[in-house]
Amino acid sequence: MLTNQRVHSSFLPLLVGLLGVGVGIIAGFFAGAKPLYLCLALVAVPVLIFFFTRFEQTVMGLLILRSSLDSWFALQIPAAFAIGLDGLTLLYVIVMLLLGRPVHTDRFWWLFASWIMLQALWLILLPLGELGMDASLLPISIREWIRLFSFLMIYLLIMQLKDKLHPEKIVSLLFFSLVFPLTVALLQIFLPSVLPQVLGGGSITRIKGTFVHANNFTVYLFLFIGLTWWKLGYARRRWPWVLLLGLLVFVLSTTKTMVGLAMLCIFVIVMIAPKLSLTNLIAGVLLFAALIGLFVSTELGQERLSTITQTPLLNPDIDISRAILLSQGDYNSFNWRIAYWNYLIQAWQHFPIFGYGLGLSSYIHPDQHLPHNDYVRALVEGGIFGFTALLIFFGAQFARLVQLLWRTPPNSIQHQLCWNLLAVFIALLVGMLSENVAVSTAFYFYYWTVFAVCGWNWNEKQTWDKSMPVTHV
């Protein structure tokens, strides 16, 4: 008689084989449509097979690959990747349940899932005519919801690596995702002519790596600056991480993104504040000074930095109303933001409770720009109800990280990773005041990966270097 284990082991290859046949039929159908769809379908076959036979390697490989896809957004490759990953995750969970194997989650995942399900409310209200936009834009809202849903799925997928890969190894493997974006970024700086147009070949003023926009690249780099700082605290050989940190700061400066300066400043303050010493203060000041120096080393950087002096932020002679008037002709991006936010907030007042709809803030103004403020975006898209839900979700993230800080030993590398991620999170909250952080899809794939593993039992043998800043919560 076959044991349950043998039945399960024979069932899995059969299931994979049947799925492979199904994908093959779909590939044959797409052969008469677009070649790109055929290629994607053919790639899906080995990915599907490896997903069930080499689960850990496939998951980490897909994560590493994600940072290299945004440049091909015109071909819908990032969207196809997200949908495919969602499908693979759900399929894996269903198979595990059918086989009677455990599916790992935690309490925060269920809260995360509740918030994602709540966002589906706007998909229902839009065709019912209860929002500021009409039902013709429903596909845009559905696409935005799927993007958010993919973050939940990546969290769930990473949780399935529990007891299979050590969390420190998972975070370490994420650094391989830097290889292609940094290589492209360096070529954009020094040899732009060798790159194809899709990767920013030719003349480019703000470095963006493999990302659609320099701002998205900045947020991605910022996360890995935080992770590199964490690595420096316990690595036996520090010089490779010092070099990587220097490279990341250098490339970050070439994006010429003001929000990157602000977020790095907040990050450094949060990191050195718990145990302020002369050494830590000097290290933090030098890191920030190096970024400022690199930022203003070019004419574009000087120009972008000087524009702040012509805004209400640093000029007491310019109030909000004057900044709105100046925005019509001074080409100052910050004054333009103020005017745009003012327009969106006035529009929100017509639909204050539920707003205009998920992912539809750029359709309110004729210019169809994103708000460059994630709080304004949440307010106009979700109304007071959606905005409050977002703040509660932010509070839940903060509370979760603080809880993990309480639960982990102060000298452990897990504790310091939680603190570094908390510093990144606080800096993001500041960055969201003047940038479209929420649309940085690739960044959130890595952010939620790190967030998920922070809550695992690390069973550490290594401890934090006492010469580095240590947080006590």
- Specify the DSSP class assigned to residue 176: G
Q: Using one digit for the tens of pLDDT, what is the confidence trace for 259-291?
A: 998 999 999 999 988 777 777 778 778 877 888
Instruction: List the beta bridge partners of residue 415.
Output: none
What angle in degrees, to the nearest 10, is found between the helix axes of 374-407 and 107-119? 170
Whole-angstrom Cα distance, residue 437 to residue 179?
Answer: 22
Q: Using one digit for the tens of pLDDT, what is the confidence trace for 439-460?
A: 999 999 999 999 999 999 997 5
Q: What is the pLDDT of residue 31?
A: 41
Mean pLDDT of 125-131: 97
Domain residue limits, the chain: 91-312+345-454
Contact 256, 205 (CB under 8 A): yes
Task: Please list the helix, strand and coil fractions of the chain in percent, rounded to the nearest 5, in that order.
Answer: 70, 0, 30
Mean pLDDT of 141-152: 96
Whole-angstrom Cα distance, residue 75 to residue 78?
Answer: 8
Asked if the model's pLDDT at residue 376 lies above 70, the reply is yes
Q: In angstroms, how far is the first alpha carbon of the chain from the final one?
A: 56
Whole-angstrom Cα distance, residue 436 to residue 71?
Answer: 18
Comparing 13-17, 60-64, 373-377, 407-411, the range with the smallest average pLDDT is 13-17
Whole-angstrom Cα distance, residue 261 to residue 196?
Answer: 29
Mean pLDDT of 428-445: 96
Answer with the residue of higher pLDDT: 47 or 201: 47
Answer with the residue of higher pLDDT: 315 or 174: 174
Contact 89, 47 (CB under 8 A): no
Give the percent of the chain with pLDDT over 70: 87
Whole-angstrom Cα distance, residue 64 to residue 442?
Answer: 10
Surface-to-core class of residue 67, CB atoms within 10 Å of its CB (0-12 exposed, 13-18 middle, 19+ buried): buried
Q: What is the pLDDT of residue 27?
A: 42
Comparing 7-21, 36-50, 147-161, 419-433, the range with the smallest average pLDDT is 7-21
Q: What is the pLDDT of residue 465?
A: 55
Asked if the model's pLDDT at residue 33 lies above 70, the reply is no
Q: What is the pLDDT of residue 28?
A: 44
Q: What is the pLDDT of residue 23?
A: 45
Mean pLDDT of 397-415: 95
Asked if the model's pLDDT at residue 231 lies above 50, the reply is yes
Contact 391, 410 (CB under 8 A): no
Asked if the model's pLDDT at residue 354 lies above 60, the reply is yes
